[in-house]
Amino acid sequence: MAKTIETEQKQINIIGAGTSITGDINCSGDIRIDGNLTGNLFVQGKVIIGGSGTIKGEISCKNSEVEGKIEGKISVGELLSLKTTSSILGDIKTRKLAIEPGAQFTGNCTMNHSSDTSRQTVGNEEAKK
């Protein structure tokens, strides 16, 4: 009897340089942004913001690698990696943070041991009410 092995192929969504999107994006896989997004980004996988990428809005994801610019809050469940060319103007919430020399961010940074920062944020907001 032959065994079959099914492999899961993750699709990577790409917003290319020169592309501008206004509105929220929900993504179950990974996404790379080299263009401009004005809106919120909710990703179950990894977010990569290339050197020419800019986001104005809230980001929630599992992992993120930033080379471009973010204006808004970012919540990362696992690892946020800020590269030399990155610039963040807004609050950071993550489990692990790696910052290369030259990276810039202005805002508050909160590091949690839990892997689900997005749920903690919702829970904390509801607790304040």
> Which residues partner with 48 through β-bridges?
32, 65
Note the pLDDT tens digit of each residue in 18-44: 999 999 999 999 999 999 999 999 999
pTM given for the model: 0.79
The domains of the chain are located at: 12-128
pLDDT of amino acid 87: 97
Short-list 27, 35, 24, CA closest to 11: 27
100 neighbors 114 (Cβ within 8 angstroms): no
pLDDT of amino acid 16: 93
Q: Which residues of the chain have pLDDT under 50?
A: 1, 3-7, 115-129
How far apart are the C-alpha atoms of 129 and 127, rounded to whole Å? 6
How far apart are the C-alpha atoms of 99 and 121, rounded to whole Å? 23
User: Under 8 Å CB-to-CB from 20, ≥6 apart: which residues?
Assistant: 35, 36, 37, 38
